[in-house]
Amino acid sequence: MISTPISSHSLPDIDPDEWNCEQVHDWLKSAGFEQYAHQIAVEHKIDGKILLLLTENDLREKPLQLSILGDIKRLYAAIGKLKIVSSSFRNNSDDLTNDSQSIYSNNGCRSFAENGGSFARDLINNDSIRQRINAAQNLNGISIQVYEHRRIDRSNVIEQIEAPDTQMKCMIKTGLAALYCSISLLLTSFVMVIVHDRVPDMKTYPPLPDIVLDSIPLIPWAFQVCEILASALGFTWLLVLIFHKHRTILLRRMFSLTGTVFLLRCVTMLITSLSVPGVHLECFSQTYVSFSDKIKQALRIWYGMGMSLRGVRTCGDYMFSGHTTVVTLLNHFVTEYTPDDWYYIHTASWVMNLFSVFFILAGHEHYSIDVFVAFYISSRLFLYYHTMAYHAKSMAVSDGRTRIWFPLFWFFESGGQVGRVENEYEWPLPDGETLKKLWNGLLKLISAAVSFENLKMKFWRQELVVIDKRAIIINDNSTSNAKSMKKSPKLKQYSTTHNEESDLLAVHSEKKVRQSKMNGKTKNS
C-alpha cells in the first residue's frame, strides 16, 4: 500500500509544465510513488512537460512497464490532476499571489514551509482558481480543507443575502426576526417606564376633550374584556401557526412587522405626553431613583406583556394604543393566512378586532385618536409589507432603492419564497411510521433499562445467598462446638479444671501483692 505524505508540492507554486527532472522526482516522492521516482525522473529523464504527456499505456508498456495495476491507475490520476493545475496556471498566471493561506490537513493544523519560508497564498474568487485548488486538494488522495481569505465588500454581502434560501438560512432569518421583535418590545417597555414618570398632573391637566369618550359612558370592566378578546385572537393565530406548512415565513413576517410598529410607538409615546384620558384612572408620576429600578420595572412590563390581567398598570403611553396595534395585527394575520372560504373564522376575527377597539374606548383607557392612529398604522404597514412581498417578482429585486428605503423588508424577504404564500396545512408532528419507530425505540430503551435492573437484582441476590451461606456455616460451627462439649465429659472436665486453676493462680498472686505491701510498711516504720 502506497503512503501519501503531505508536502508543499501538493499545491505547486510553479507550473508543472515547467518542472525539471529533479522537481518531478520530488513530486513523485511526495505523492507516494517513491519506488518509481528514480526510474521515471532519473533513468528516463522525464521532466514536467513530458510527465504531462504520459498516457496510461506509457505507464503499462515498455520501457517503464509498471507492474502493479493500482499504482498505474493512481499515478495516471495524479498526472491528470496535474494537467488541470497546469492549465489553470496558464490561464490565470497573475491571479495567484504568495500572500496568505491557511490549510488544515486530515492530521490537524499544518503550516507548510518551503526553504525556511511560509508557504502561503491569497486565494481569489475565480472559478478557474477554484478548479485548480480542488484539483490540488486531492492530488495525492488526501483530504485537505482550504480556507480562502477574500475581501468582503458590499457586492458580496448583497449576493449572499439575495441568494436562494436554504432551510438553515430561513431558520436564521426567523431567529433574527424574533430577536429584533424582542428587543423592540423591551425598548417599548423601557419607554413606557419613562413616560410614566412624565405623566402630567391630573389636577393641573384634566382629560382632553374627546367626542367619542364624551359620548360613551364609562364601563369599568370593558378593558379586561378587550384583553380577553385579544387573548382569543392570539390563541387562534397560534393554532394557524402550528398547522400551517410555511410557519417559519409567517413567524418571520409577524416578528418583523410587530417589531417595526412598536419601535414607531416608542417615538410617538416619547415625544408628546398627553394628559390622562379618564378621571377614574389613578395615575401619578413615579420617579425611579436608579437606572436599575427602571430596568426592573421595564422587565415586569415586558414579562406581563403590558396586560392589566397580568398585573401591569401604566400611564402616559397613549399615542398610540398598543392594545389596538396587537389585535389589529392579529386580525390581519389570521385572515391573510387562512383560506378564503373560511368565512366564519374571518368574520369572528374582525368582530373580535372591532369589539376590542370599542371596549378600549368604553373603558376610557385611551383617547380615540390613539386608537385610530394605531389601527391605521398597523393595518397600512401590514398591507404595504405584504403587497411588496407578493409583487417582488415584478419589482426589481436587485434595485438599490429597495435596499435603501426598505432594508428590513429586503433582508427578510430576499432569497425566500417570493410571492403569496399558499395556505397549506399539515400535521406538525411526525407521521405514523415515524412515530411507530420512535415508540419502538422507546420500548427498546425501556426494555434495556429493565434488563439492567434485573441483572443488578440478580447480582445482589447472589451476594445475599453467599452471605447467608457464610452465616449458616458460622452458626453450624458454633453449634457443633457446643454439642461436642456436651458429648465429651473429659473435654468438659478439662475446661472446668483449667478454669479452677486460673482462679487459684489469681488468688495466689493477689496474696503476694498484699504481703509485699505489708513488708514495705514495716521497713518504713
Active site residues: 323, 366, 370
Give the ranges where 198-321 is alpha helix by DSSP (H). Answer: 211-215, 222-243, 247-271, 291-303
Residue by residue, DSSP assigns 6-48 as --GGGS-SS-GGG--HHHHHHHHHHTT-HHHHIIIIIIS---H
Measured between alpha carbons, how far is residue 34 from residues 38, 72, 441 in Å? 8, 13, 52
- Apex 207 CA angle, 202 and 211, nearest 5: 170
How large is the greatest C-alpha to C-alpha distance in the chain, in angstroms?
137
On whether the CB atoms of residues 150 and 124 are closer than 8 A, the answer is yes
Query: Whole-angstrom Cα distance, residue 389 to residue 134?
Result: 39
174 burial via Cβ count (<10 Å: 0-12, 13-18, 19+): buried
Cα–Cα nearest to 2, from 27, 30, 24: 30
Peptide bond into 217 cis (omega under 30): no
Place of cell 390581519: 332
C-alpha cell at 156: 458580496
- Amino acid type, 200: P
Query: Whole-angstrom Cα distance, residue 254 to residue 235?
Result: 15
Measured between alpha carbons, how far is residue 139 from residues 3, 56, 77, 91, 136 in Å? 13, 17, 8, 20, 5
